[in-house]
């Protein structure tokens, strides 16, 4: 009998395939994927350790994906790293990008819209996040960033110092002018600084200006840093620094320690400290950030979102799966309860109900979520330099080197020159 050679080859091929087959087991068709994740939380911090634990848990549950984490000093350091990575075509898969850098990340083409990688449950997943936060990360109808951390601006204060100064700690200032007046009264009556501000970023200054009815950028994209409202805010701030009612300290950690030691009565800063003060200084109370007369408090979103980057579709799909895992309602609740950040999902508030009950300072911060607005989105390629210019202008006024109007006019001109 003559044997067909092609038939024999087919039989041999089939035998080899069947030899490796075991019923009930799916055959792997994908190569392992590595996902790199950059974030601004150091090792040894609760936030850094939390992310390390979540990375390990995700890797264990997803054997085909390996997430590696890398911590950076701050948001600016991440942006600088991404700029270098983009030039070398070695971008991270996921990065925690501070609110305010969104236009740069999206406008430069570095980020990919995560809506393209969420699958059939995209609408349900996204609908649970606070709309004000998704507004920040949505461009041309597509969501790019998933909010991880949220903080709002507020003022912490020592009730005991209020009482010594003749102020009612249960009726704190509600307007900007009342805040400045209270700071002066505290300094006059007690000799203690009345007020201090977080100055590691222009965020608090932006909050004060926008809560006074002005914007740092005009609708046509030009800089509006020297508006009458901004000049008033910085004039009040510099006058208080000169008369001793306001403490100026460019070192954030020193400012934190000064407030903790009750050497200053009020501290305008991020709500991030809510949990910290609850544990270390339980007498400290919080007030809503005072707005200008007749204005509404507006808090530019503080915190960060997780942006999808990567170097291939397979990598981005794996990274999107990790983002969904890291921002589950229970994970966001755990993150908020322990870190001091506010939750970014509605369902996470339900998971935190027992924690929030009776915690007045945290309730105040949660109520301010309705006051969150998108931060000023400066032109992408200049965002780091612009923030530096604003801080330098603030410092020049507080040190008495220029008047507030001179400092802000000069800063405005420098920013405008960058646009040309």
CB atoms within 10 A of CB 416: 12
What are the DSSP calls for 165-185, one per residue? TT--TTS---BHHHHHHHHHH
3-state helix, strand, coil in the chain (%, to 5): 50, 15, 30
* Whether the Cβ atoms of residue 249 and residue 241 lie closer than 8 Å to each other: no
Cα distances (Å, whole numbers) of residue 10 to 5, 6, 22: 9, 6, 20
Contact yes or no for 38/322 (Cβ under 8 A)? no
In the block, tokens 């954030």 appear at: 252
Question: Going from the N-terminus, what domains does the chain have, and what CATH number goes with each?
Answer: 33-151+301-373 (3.40.190.10), 153-288+378-419 (3.40.190.10)
pTM assigned to the model: 0.86
Give, for all 420 residues of the chain, the pLDDT tens digit.
Answer: 333 434 333 333 333 333 333 333 333 336 789 999 999 998 888 999 999 999 999 999 999 999 999 999 999 999 999 999 988 888 999 999 999 999 889 988 999 999 999 988 899 999 999 998 999 999 999 999 999 999 999 999 999 999 999 999 999 999 999 999 999 999 999 999 999 998 878 999 999 999 999 999 999 989 999 999 999 999 999 999 999 999 998 888 889 899 999 999 999 999 988 998 998 999 999 999 999 999 999 999 999 999 999 989 999 999 999 999 999 999 999 999 999 899 999 999 999 999 999 999 999 999 999 899 999 988 767 888 999 999 999 999 999 999 999 999 999 999 999 988
Residues 383 and 379: their CA atoms lie apart, in Å, by 6
């Amino acid at each position: 009998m003559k044997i067909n050679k092609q038939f024999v080859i087919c039989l041999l091929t089939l035998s080899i395939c069947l030899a490796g087959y075991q019923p009930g087991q799916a055959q792997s068709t994908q190569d392992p994927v590595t996902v790199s994740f950059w974030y601004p939380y150091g090792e040894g911090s609760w936030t850094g350790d939390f992310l390390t634990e979540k990375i390990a848990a995700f890797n264990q549950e997803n054997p085909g994906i390996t997430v590696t984490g890398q911590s950076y000093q701050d948001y600016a350091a991440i942006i600088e790293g991404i700029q270098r990575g983009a030039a070398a075509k070695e971008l991270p898969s996921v990065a925690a990008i501070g609110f305010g850098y969104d236009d740069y990340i999206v406008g430069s083409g570095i980020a990919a819209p995560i809506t393209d990688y969420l699958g059939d449950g995209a609408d349900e997943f996204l609908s649970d996040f606070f709309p004000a936060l998704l507004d920040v990360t949505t461009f041309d109808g597509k969501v790019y960033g998933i909010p991880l951390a949220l903080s709002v601006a507020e003022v912490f204060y020592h009730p005991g110092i209020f009482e010594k100064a003749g102020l009612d700690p249960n009726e704190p200032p509600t307007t900007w002018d009342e805040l400045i007046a209270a700071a002066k009264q505290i300094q006059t009556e007690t000799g203690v600084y009345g007020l201090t501000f977080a100055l590691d970023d222009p965020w608090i200054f932006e909050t004060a200006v926008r809560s006074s009815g002005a914007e740092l950028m005009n609708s046509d994209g030009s800089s509006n840093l020297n508006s009458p409202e901004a000049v008033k805010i910085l004039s009040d701030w510099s006058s208080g620094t000169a008369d001793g009612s306001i403490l100026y300290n460019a070192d954030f950690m020193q400012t934190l320690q000064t407030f903790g030691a009750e050497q200053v009565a009020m501290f305008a800063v991020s709500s991030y400290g809510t949990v910290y003060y609850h544990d270390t200084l339980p007498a400290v109370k919080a007030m809503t950030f005072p707005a200008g007369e007749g204005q509404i408090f507006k808090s530019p979103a503080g915190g960060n979102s997780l942006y999808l980057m990567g170097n291939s579709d397979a990598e981005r799909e794996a990274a999107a799966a990790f983002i969904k895992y890291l921002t589950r309602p229970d994970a966001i609740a755990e993150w908020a309860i322990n870190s001091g950040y506010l939750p970014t999902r509605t369902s996470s508030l339900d998971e935190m109900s027992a924690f929030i009950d009776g915690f007045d300072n945290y309730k105040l911060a949660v109520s301010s979520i309705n006051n969150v607005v998108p931060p000023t989105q400066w032109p992408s390629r200049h965002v780091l330099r612009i923030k530096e210019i604003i801080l330098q202008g603030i410092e020049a006024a507080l040190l008495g080197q220029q008047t507030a109007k001179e400092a802000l006019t000069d800063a405005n001109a420098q920013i405008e020159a960058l646009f040309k």
